[in-house]
Amino acid sequence: MSEIEYDLVVIGGGPGGYVAAIRAAQLGMKVACVEKRVTLGGTCLNVGCIPSKALLNSSEKFEEAQHELADHGVSVSGVKLDLKKMMARKDKVVADLTGGIAFLFKKNKIDHIIGSGTIEGPGVVKVKPAKGKARTLTTEDILIATGSESAPLPGVEVDEKKIVTSTGALELTKVPKHLVVIGAGYIGLEMASVWGRLGAKVTCVEFLNRITPGMDGEVAKHFQRILQKQGIEFRLGTKVTGAATNRAGVTLSLEPAKGGDAETLKCDVVLLSIGRRPYTEGLGLKAAGVETDERGFIKIDEHFRTTASGIYAIGDCVPGPMLAHKAEDEGVVCAEIIAGQSGHINYDAIPGVVYTWPEVAAVGKTEEALKEAGVEYRIGKFPFTANSRARANDLTDGFVKILADTKTDAVLGAHIIGADAGNLIHEVVAVIEFGGAAEDIARICHAHPTLNEAVKEAALAVDGRPIHM
């Protein structure tokens, strides 16, 4: 019998897969990563986190130049949008970062094998490139990190031109006059912000009676009010039952979610963003004995082992939050476990951030979840209007909310809506990770003047003793 070529073959080169490959190589394994895209980085770097954040940043600058700089005594005139250039910048950011992963692969001596991977049997992965001959790899272990794809909606046929997923929404060649977003979640609100700032009228149609399900209810309400002030319209409690496309645009059929009279809504572009589903097509899971749950997620145990021996799975294709940093951390821990080490992930300390203006960030439990679990908690809240740096920088929208256990004072959750919330939240993530209390945050010396002082004040407010409020 011929020798086994690899210690580990990773299928999928996204944040889960490429990070696992690097960690496995650091631990001395001979690793191949099979990725069907020519570039590495997966959804996140190619068509997700990175291009969306590049456009959010550029559109924020456009907004600032048009509407905000004048308040600071900076006059600008003739502000114009060069969408082609904005897109080219975004593409360069993506190209630089995906190229960076290719460099890291070379540095760590990881074989990047371009093509679609199928598990042919224990330790055997067949790779079919878009052109040319298939190749078979032999390996001790296999790690599935094939990610997710946009969930479809019956009656709303995606063509990535007039009816787009996030991928098409990151590539539009002109600003839509009217963009209808189906689903007021992470993708919907980030893309609504980009195109709204660039001049589109934006309507978000959301099935539920609230935006961003899963987010703390009080924060979500505040968030919706701010987005409405920015001009985004919401049609809550409404479902889309069909879409008809013609040369002029798209006509959507809407109905109240609870049932009732139908109506139509015309627009030129529709973004379908009602969630993502695991992507495992063509992997040969069934034949390999890898079971999935009723929603298509690969079943794993606490060591990322699937139901087939020698096959592991991580990231968006397994249950849990569909976030790049969750996939990355699973990649690291899974590689360490395969190498015989131990490791674990604290799923109670995974932050989530919506990169709109202002940002919304959360970690741990929401008030709703604590109530449902019957946990007694105290709330500390502090508004950015009372924070001196926020006043100096004109960033007064929003607040910090910390939830702590009534008996032990342990921090159970934190929810921040405001400028730089995505960075601010990490202080609380670290405290939760170390099992800390609100009092611990309150006693840490925070530099003045910083937005972080609002986190300290919220922690003081848990015990009813904020200084500046």
Positions marked active-site: 448
Amino acid at 177: K
Quick one: three-class SS letters along 236-254?
CCEEEEEEEEECCEEEEEE
Amino acid at 253: S
Nearer Cβ to ligand NAI (30/279): 279
Phi, psi at residue 181, to the nearest 5°? -105, 125
Q: What is the DSSP string of 251-312?
A: EEEEEETT----EEEEESEEEE-S-EEE--TTS-HHHHT--B-TTSPBP--TT-B-SSTTEE
Place of tokens 């490959």: 21
414 binds, among ligand FAD, ligand NAI, none (CB under 5 to 8 A by kind): none
206 binds, among ligand NAI, ligand FAD, none (CB under 5 to 8 A by kind): ligand NAI
**x/- track of binding to ligand FAD for residues 123-162 (CB under 6 A):** ----------------------xxxx--------------
Token pair recorded at residue 389: 């740096």
183 binds, among ligand NAI, ligand FAD, none (CB under 5 to 8 A by kind): ligand NAI
* Helical (H) or strand (E) element with 383: strand 377-383
Is 344 within 8 Å of 392 (Cβ atoms)? Answer: no
**x/- track of binding to ligand FAD for residues 256-295 (CB under 6 A):** -----------------------x--xx------------
**x/- track of binding to ligand FAD for residues 307-346 (CB under 6 A):** --------xx-----xxxx-x-------------------
327 binds, among ligand FAD, ligand NAI, none (CB under 5 to 8 A by kind): ligand FAD
Q: Which residues, 196 to 235, sit near ligand NAI by CB under 6 A?
A: 205-208, 213
Q: Which residues, 300 to 339, sit near ligand NAI by CB under 6 A?
A: 321-323
Among 185, 278, 331, 358, binds ligand NAI (CB under 6 A): 185
Query: Segment contacting ligand FAD (CB under 6 A): 35-43, 194-202, 295-303, 382-390?
Result: 35-43
What is the rounded CA–CA span in Å between residue 49 and residue 60? 16
Q: Which residues, 114 to 153, sit near ligand NAI by CB under 6 A?
A: 153
Among 166, 212, 224, 292, binds ligand FAD (CB under 6 A): 166
* Helical (H) or strand (E) element with 45: helix 42-47
Give the three-class secondary structure for 15: helix
Instruction: Say whether residue 224 binds ligand FAD (CB under 6 A).
Output: no
Among 187, 200, 300, 432, binds ligand NAI (CB under 6 A): 187
What is the rounded CA–CA span in Å between residue 279 and residue 12? 10
Query: Segment contacting ligand FAD (CB under 6 A): 44-52, 64-72, 154-162, 237-245?
Result: 44-52
Instruction: Say whether residue 164 binds ligand NAI (CB under 6 A).
Output: no
* Helical (H) or strand (E) element with 333: helix 324-338
Instruction: Say whether residue 56 binds ligand NAI (CB under 6 A).
Output: no
What is the rounded CA–CA span in Å between residue 140 and residue 29? 10
Is 144 within 8 Å of 160 (Cβ atoms)? Answer: no
Tell whether the torsion through CA atoms of 34, 36, 38 and 43 is positive or negative: negative
Among 9, 10, 13, 298, binds ligand FAD (CB under 6 A): 13
Amino acid at 174: K
Nearer Cβ to ligand FAD (254/324): 324
Instruction: Say whether residue 415 binds ligand NAI (CB under 6 A).
Output: no
Quick one: three-class SS letters along 159-189?
CCCCEECHHHHCCCCCCCCEEEEECCCHHHH
Is 208 within 8 Å of 237 (Cβ atoms)? Answer: yes
Among 187, 198, 254, 267, binds ligand FAD (CB under 6 A): 187
Nearer Cβ to ligand NAI (128/239): 239
Starting at the edge strand found earlier in the chain, the sheet holding 263-267 runs 238-246, 249-256, 263-267
Number of residues that bind ligand FAD (CB under 6 A): 36
Instruction: Say whether residue 168 binds ligand FAD (CB under 6 A).
Output: no
Closest distance of CB 297 from ligand NAI, Å: 13
Interface contacts to ligand NAI, rule CB under 6 A = 153, 182-188, 190, 205-208, 213, 239-240, 273-276, 321-323, 353-355
Binding site for ligand FAD (CB under 6 A): 11-17, 34-37, 42-44, 48-49, 52, 116-117, 145-148, 166, 187, 279, 282-283, 315-316, 322-325, 327, 355
